[in-house]
Structures are given as C-alpha cells and as structure tokens.
C-alpha cells in the first residue's frame, strides 16, 4: 500500500517512526529521563524535545518551505507564512510516559490553507500506525478503519480527559462527567487525546469529549475521525473547533446524543442554557455537605 500513499504522508510516517524509536529507547529506562514542569501537573521531558526535533528535521529536510506549529517549540521553525503547516505533538501523554504507563503517541498533521489534509498518529508501545489522507479514508497498520456502528449511548464506550491545569473548571467538568457517565456503558480516561481520537476512528470507542485541548492535540485525530466516517466538533456540534479548546467526536449517532447532553456546557451555549447550568450548580451546592471538591481541606 505504501507506494499509493501521498508523498507528504510518507514523510510524516517516516518522521513519526523516527520519533517513536526515540520514545521506545527512553521508555526502557524511564527513571533516567529528565523531567521539567511547564506548569502544575503539566510536564515536559527531554524525550518530548528530542522527538520534536527529529520530526521537524525530517519534515523540513523534505519540505524546507513548509511551516511548523509544534507543541514545545511553537512556530520558530520553517516558514511561518507557508500555506502548508505541519501541526506536531511529539509525545502526547507525557504524564503517562513518565510513569511507564504505556498510553502515549506521536501526532503529526499537515494543514493546507488551514484545512487538515494528512494525518499520522503513531503509538510506539503497540507499534500501531494510524494514517489518513483527506478523501482517501483512514487506516490502522494499512487496514481500512471505520467508526463503530453502535447507535445506543447506553451501549457505548466513551473516552474523556480530566481537566488538570490550574484555572480549569473542575466543578463544571464533574457535572458533565456525571451526565455522560450515567448514560453510557463506560467512561474511560486513557490520558492521550490524540490516541483517544484514533480509537474513535478505529471503532474501539464510540465517542470522546474533552475541554482545554490545543490544536496539536486534535489536528491529526480530527482527520482520522472524519475519514473513518465519524463526526468531530465542539460541544454544540459545530465543526469549526480546532482553536476552540473543546472537542467532541464520535460515530454519527453517538455524536448527536453527546451533543444533546454536552451542548449546554459549551462556552458557545445559549445564554439560557448557561443560566440553567449555573442554577443547577447553585442548587446542588446548597444540598452539599462537607468540603467542596478542589478545596484544600
């Protein structure tokens, strides 16, 4: 199949596998990896940096005129004015990696004039390679993948990500989580948003939602999901979500049901919906006894 791949996708695969080799080598002695903290609960390792450097070198050697938007180095490489911009997360799931918990991946996407056209997500622990080219379908290890066919939310497995940074609204998230959890067969928090989206595309889970995500977390996964027949957008179901820091994905039926639950929590929700959420939260607070979640007690 590789001979039929788009040449830019082939270069992205080469970059992802090279980064994966660095990550796998470091995983053999994860205790020796140097770690620094970007902010509370948000870590970056020398492996993130080495992985990112390898990816950027591979891409710019092939396409020196392209732009780069990378998690650790921002837009300091390549041509910032190019129509072609590579969006890179060199190690999504760093906290998992630091602990030796084998759920993390490399995510590489190519945006052409703002639209994602190529995507690679590589899981080096499992040697799973997810790829997509716009209009050509999504693949896992060269086999075509499709989103799941489940139609009932109560039979569905949904993944999410917990808010973990200072300033995140934990109270609101716990309400969202409770709303979804009661209506599904299971809620999971694997710890790598890019891999969560790849799993929706492959039909391993039926839906996914998270707030606070950056473009490099979701760029590649968004193309995998749509090329596998799924839908992706913000909590109100609008497709233009990449910069909005809220992401919802799923097979079409599950996606619709999740929008009906999560729409009222969106920062783009109607004023009425937002007021209703506030009112419910206040009522709940009055009923609560003992220390609140997130307090220092």
State yes or no: pLDDT of 37 exceeds 70: yes
pLDDT at residue 221, rounded to an integer: 98
Same structural domain, 10 and 140? yes
CA distance 65 to 120: 20
pTM for this entry: 0.91
Pairing assessment for the beta strands 207-211 and 246-250 based on DSSP bridges = antiparallel
Is residue 178 within 8 A of residue 82, CB to CB? The reply is no
State the average pLDDT for the chain.
91
Residue 256: pLDDT over 60: yes
Q: Hunting for tokens 């300033």 — which residue is that?
A: 167
CATH number of the domain enclosing 163:
3.40.190.80
- Structural domain tally of the chain? 2
Of 145, 172, 203, the position where a domain reaches its end is: 145
Tell me what the mean pLDDT of segment 74-103 comes to.
Answer: 96
> Would residue 294 be called left, alpha or beta, if left means φ above 0 and alpha means ψ between -120 and 50 degrees?
left
Looking at the DSSP assignment, which residues form a beta bridge with residue 86? 68, 110
The β-bridge partners of 296 are: none
3-state secondary structure of 285: helix
H helices within the chain, ranges in order? 7-27, 46-62, 94-99, 170-181, 193-202, 215-227, 252-262, 271-287
Residue 90 lies in a domain: yes
Which among 173, 239, 170, 182 is positioned nearest to 209, based on CA atoms? 173
Q: Is the pLDDT of residue 3 over 70?
A: no
pLDDT tens digits for range 44-67? 889 999 999 999 999 999 999 999
Indicate if the alpha-carbon torsion angle 216, 199, 129, 32 is positive or negative: positive
* Residues of the domain holding 210: 153-286
Give the confidence band of 287 by pLDDT, cuts at 50, 70, 90.
low
For tokens 């270069």, what's the residue?
A: 11
Asked if 159 and 265 sit in the same domain, the reply is yes
**Sheet with 157-160: strands ordered across:** 186-188, 157-160, 207-211, 246-250, 231-233
**Mean pLDDT, range 173-187, rounded to an integer:** 95
What's the CATH number where 33 sits?
Answer: 3.30.540.10
In a domain, 21, yes or no: yes
Last residue of a domain, one of 127, 145, 163: 145
Do residues 228 and 248 both lie within one domain? yes
């Amino acid at each position: 199949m590789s001979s039929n791949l788009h040449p830019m996708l082939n270069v992205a695969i080469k970059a992802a596998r090279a980064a994966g080799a660095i990550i796998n080598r470091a995983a053999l002695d994860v205790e020796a990896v140097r770690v620094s903290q970007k902010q509370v609960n948000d870590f970056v390792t020398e492996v993130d940096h080495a992985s990112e450097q390898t990816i950027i070198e591979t891409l710019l050697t092939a396409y020196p005129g392209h732009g780069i938007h990378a998690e650790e180095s921002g837009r300091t490489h390549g041509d910032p004015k190019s129509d072609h911009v590579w969006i890179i997360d060199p190690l999504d799931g760093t906290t998992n990696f630091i602990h030796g918990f084998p759920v993390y991946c490399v995510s590489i996407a190519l945006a052409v004039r703002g639209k994602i056209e190529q995507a690679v997500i590589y899981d080096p622990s499992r040697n799973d390679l997810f790829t997509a080219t716009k209009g050509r379908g999504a693949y896992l290890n060269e086999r075509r993948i499709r989103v799941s066919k489940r139609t009932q939310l109560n039979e569905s497995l949904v993944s999410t990500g917990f808010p973990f940074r200072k300033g995140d609204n934990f109270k609101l998230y716990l309400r969202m989580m409770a709303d979804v959890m009661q209506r599904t067969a299971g809620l999971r928090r694997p710890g790598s948003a890019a891999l969560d989206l790849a799993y929706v595309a492959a039909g391993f889970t039926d839906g996914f939602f998270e707030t606070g995500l950056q473009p490099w977390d979701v760029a590649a996964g968004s193309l995998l999901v749509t090329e596998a027949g799924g839908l992706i957008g913000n909590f109100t179901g609008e497709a233009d979500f990449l910069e909005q820091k809220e992401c919802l994905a799923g097979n079409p039926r599950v996606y619709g049901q999740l929008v009906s639950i999560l729409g009222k929590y969106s920062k783009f929700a109607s004023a009425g919906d937002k007021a209703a959420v506030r009112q419910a939260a206040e009522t709940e607070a009055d009923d609560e006894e003992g220390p609140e979640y997130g307090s220092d007690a």
